[in-house]
Structure 1
């Protein structure tokens, strides 16, 4: 009889011990969850501070780039308008794509759009049996096109944004482009429209081969509205290289302004998303904290009732 009583008295003790052990496990898991959520909240807050700082830096750079673009485009536009009077004739033959991208990321899809336009153009030209070459300005363009189209690379120019881009730098790129003597040339870049919009265009750039094979009547009709001293035939070679430089300079300036504007928008969206994420994690943290407090109160009340 005494043995049965002892077994009955021991059974609740073991059950209560297991309950206390399970409560201890839940408490440990709750503490670990709270610590994990706290670390995550701190990381999101630091990320939000970084994105806000990057937005402020991009805003300051945008004002400078916008002023540079407004002062620089009037220098290049007269020569561009002169050559735009020439008729566009699509002929068979090799084509050189000049991809104007940036050296840094975190600026939306500006570099992706340029790389996509170049890929589509190269695929279409090679489907027609034309040889394609690629000249890349900017490290992001090199990274995006190197894996599939690295064998088409003619020349690459990276780290151009370390110093302010000038017409002298554009002249170096134009000199390399003129030395390759392309049959056809297209400059793919982003045209700045506003703070929130831009267009990715492939500008047809007239080459020396196209100018020499053009109908003389059409060529004279386009050029006779201007007066040249000395004659156009004597200065044509230098004028054409200057035209290359103006095309590249204008494209890089507009692409830089577009990059800065899109980086502002990207960092603003990133800061907003970080704030929303912080709110969700904070709600999870408060719920876990409240559940832990409720569990501890239940344990205290249960212990007091048992006593």
Structure 2
């Protein structure tokens, strides 16, 4: 029996090692490729170690450092506002749905779940945001559409409140004279750090990686581009220069592929920095918030 347990443990340890390598090797390949010359990448393909060390991709991005810095700041602003409002709205929606005495709870749950299956489509949604909410060419075009509220996150948080917050604690607080607002602020929220951290991280990733809103809603205000939209614009310009090269310069001197890799490295750094602060609660929050419905 003991030998069988050791064999299982050894098997799963080896399996976990392979899974870790499967996650780390692509990222390492990304970094190595960003420091490889464009000619080498085109001729020899990707390699785990730079065959010809070259910082041309980062030199190219350095020439636009002022604009990249502004785009970073805009992304931070969008993410900070979006995460704060999203988490607040999610808590305020999920907590009432977690209370069994809420009138019309089933109807509200249906209204929450229905948009996850059906929606008006891209064109009607775009017209609502631009003609009615007037978010076009404004910072709200990067914050409100598609990202500010997520029914799936509400369901996760409602499930966490239902399964992990003892109802007896809330009832005891009400006997002592606490209102629903006081129960939410002083009892439920402090006990829900794992799910709040999980929702915050998932929302942060969504806002930081968002670039479709910039394409749809920022047609003239390119100064409002976030980092993803700006780096995508830089990549498109590099591709244009390479495809329209003349005798004045060699197309292979323009680090098109290398720029793509460097862009990915630059864009992922903030998430790598932020993740350790959420890791403590992330697994617990996403597990307890999903086991029951």
- State the TM-score, normalizing by the size of structure 1: 0.28
Q: Report the structure, 1 or 2, having the larger strand content.
A: 1
Larger Rg: 1
Q: Report the structure, 1 or 2, having the larger helix content.
A: 2
